Amino acid sequence: MIACFVWAGIILHAAQQGPNSRSNSPKPEISKLDYVLQASDLIRVQIFQEDDLNREVRISQENTVKLPLIDTVSLKDKTVRQAEEYIRDLYGRDYLAKPQVNLFVLEYAPRRVFIAGAVNKPGVVLFQQEQGLTLIDAISRADSFNRLADKKRVTLKRTKSDGATETFTINVEELLKGDSNQTWPLQPNDVINVPEKIL
């Protein structure tokens, strides 16, 4: 009898979490442990039972922080998880026996993209990395297209990690109508240009 009630509860819960529920839920974000630390992020480094070593520090433009005993630590290209392991190794090497290190991002540095051309407010658009920003969101934050905008030939210029650049031509009119599955999530320092219609 008890087992029947348990199964009934599970089935009811599954029904409540059906397709409509799933479609309305946000897409899963990258795990906070897999977030790649950036210059100007504010972080807390916490060492279990070593309160005097705990620090809240902002990552410098050189991607370093200063911590007690181990001094300057480079966090360049490290995820939160990798930074924890690296700091743990540095303390464990000469100072602490099996330290337990936790790292938390208290404040994410704002990222920026640039938008020019036929929008009402061209310029810099800031966004938080953990929230993300799509092409349409960026255009909306630039107070949308002006009356001369050619929505079918918007360009997105992106610089890759190796220094090479890619340029995409995007039909934003299709995106707005829902005729495309692409959302075009933006990356820091992307450059968007909205050309004017050729009359």
Q: Which has the minimum average pLDDT: 29-33, 62-66, 76-80?
A: 29-33
Domains 32-107 and 110-194 share a fold: no
Going by C-alpha positions, the residue among 97, 80, 178 that lies closest to residue 136 is 178
Prediction pTM value: 0.57
51 vs 27 pLDDT, higher one: 51
Confidence at 14, pLDDT banded by 50, 70, 90: very low
Q: What is the mean pLDDT of residues 98-120?
A: 92
Topology of the domain comprising 110-194: Outer membrane lipoprotein wza fold like (3.10.560)
Q: What is the mean pLDDT of residues 24-52?
A: 75
Is residue 180's pLDDT more than 80? no
Instruction: Please return the burial class of 43, using the count of CB atoms within 10 Å of its CB with bins 0-12, 13-18 and 19+.
Output: buried
Domain boundaries, the chain: 32-107, 110-194
Q: How far apart are CA 138 and CA 92, in angstroms?
A: 45
pLDDT for residue 179 = 75
Predicted confidence (pLDDT) per residue in 122-140, tens digit = 999 988 776 788 999 999 9
Q: How far apart are CA 181 and CA 87, in angstroms?
A: 42
Homologous superfamily of the 32-107 domain (CATH): wza like domain (3.30.1950.10)
Q: Is 29 helix (H, G, I), strand (E, B) or coil?
A: coil
